[in-house]
Structure 1
């Protein structure tokens, strides 16, 4: 059995949907906080059990019978995420899982200024010490382009701090590739990187957006501290703004610059590029 955590979230849900196209429903289980929210999976024959990273006993029950467990990383900056991930890893081991897969982050390496990197590095260390086979899916940034670029369609400019090349990746592609791995298409030990085919900058986005819209979209580089101040003025907590600033610092230092071909190999096609995604967003 394959058990997926976070199956009512964006990535987890999409991964289960892709699994249902590849393996029988009775080979799939999900571990979710609220079983009512996963009723659509229950109705299709998926085993649904309650579990959360804060409750090791419930996790062991929800992981029972699993050969593989996909741990979707937590995202609450106020929580002890490494401790919660450790709970999940230990529960998977106790349940007899033969392989644990974990949704890590591209460039989860020492020195990366982006703060969540530390969480992923520490969790990968826990996996390495777990005694079972493991795979860290170091996914490229897959947030929505609206989040990445801001209100450029209204303002005519992409106004963000100094950046660097990033292979912004389609979450749907990541979910499909994750399902391919879980379904047994290929097996990997340790960390692997899943990204879009090309890394782009905000200058590139401005050029792409200008070509797609027929308007001149400007790229405006904002001073770091001014950007933080503007975020706070708009209602973003300072801690959240400064956390995001570390992303820009990491990108301009080149930590996310490398695009990896593995995602295309797993999909058997070219993943969606930044230009593809922006064009699709404009067509909505």
Structure 2
């Protein structure tokens, strides 16, 4: 059995959908905080059990009978995520799981100024010391491009801090590849980078957007502190804004520049490019 945590979320839920195309439903389980949110999976024959990283006993029960578990990393910046991940790994080991697959982060290496990197580095070390087989999927940045680029369709400008090359990756591709890893299509031990094959900058985005829209889209570099002040003025908490600033600092230092072939090899096709994603996201009303 394969058990997926976080199945009520975007990545976990889409991974389960892809698993259902490849694995009998009675060989799939999900561990969710609120089983009611996974009713659509239960109705299709998936085993649904309550579990959360804060409750190792319930987690062990939700992992019972699993050969593999997908641990979707936590995302609460106020929580001690490394400790929660340690508890989840311990629950999986206690349940007799043979392999733990963890959703890590692209560029999770020492020195990366992007603060969540420390959580993923710590979790990978916990996995390495767990005594069971493990895979860390170092996923490329897969957030919505609108969040990354800002309101460029309205303003005609990509006005963000100085950046560096990043292989922005489609979340749907990541979910499909994750399902393929769990279904046994690709065997990976330890960390593996799942990222689009081409790393691009905001300058590249401006060129692509200009070509797609037929109008000039400018790249404007905003001073770090000015950007922080602008975000706070828009109502974004300063602590969250400064956390995001460390992502720009990491990208400009080259920590996210690595791409790779593993994603394309798993999918057996070319992953979606940023041009593909921009093309489908264009808002006709903004032109």
Shorter-normalised TM range:
over 0.9
Partner of 2:32: 32
Rounded Cα–Cα distance in structure 1 between residues aligned with 2:196 and 2:273: 6
Give the drift of 1:259: 1.0
Partner of 1:257: 257
Partner of 1:226: 226
What's the secondary structure of 1:112's corresponding residue? coil
What's the secondary structure of 2:114's corresponding residue? coil
Tell me, yes or no, if the aligned pair for 2:167 and 2:195 is still in contact at 8 Å. Answer: yes
Partner of 1:92: 92
What's the secondary structure of 2:282's corresponding residue? helix
Partner of 1:178: 178
Q: Which runs of 4+ in 1 moved over 6 A?
A: none
Q: Deviations over 1:144-172 (max 9, x none)?
A: 00111010001110000000000000000
Rounded Cα–Cα distance in structure 2 between residues aligned with 1:256 and 1:80: 24
TM-score (ref. length: structure 2): 0.98
Unaligned runs of 5+ in 1: none
Tell me, yes or no, if the aligned pair for 2:31 and 2:50 is still in contact at 8 Å. Answer: yes
Rounded Cα–Cα distance in structure 2 between residues aligned with 1:215 and 1:264: 32
Partner of 1:104: 104
Rounded Cα–Cα distance in structure 1 between residues aligned with 2:155 and 2:280: 20
What's the secondary structure of 1:207's corresponding residue? helix
Unaligned runs of 5+ in 2: none
Give the drift of 1:185: 1.1
Partner of 1:248: 248
Partner of 2:278: 278
Partner of 2:211: 211
Rounded Cα–Cα distance in structure 2 between residues aligned with 1:275 and 1:256: 19
Q: Is 1:60 aligned to residue 57 of structure 2? A: no
Rounded Cα–Cα distance in structure 1 between residues aligned with 2:283 and 2:261: 27
Q: Deviations over 1:230-255 (max 9, x none)?
A: 11111111110000000000000011
Partner of 1:12: 12
Partner of 2:188: 188
Q: Deviations over 1:59-91 (max 9, x none)?
A: 000000000000000000000000000110000
In the TM superposition, what are the counterparts of 1:148-167 in structure 2 within 5 Å? Answer: 148-167=148-167
Partner of 2:124: 124
Give the drift of 1:283: 6.8
Superposed CA RMSD: 0.8
Aligned residues: 284
TM-score (ref. length: structure 1): 0.99
Partner of 2:267: 267
What's the secondary structure of 2:206's corresponding residue? helix
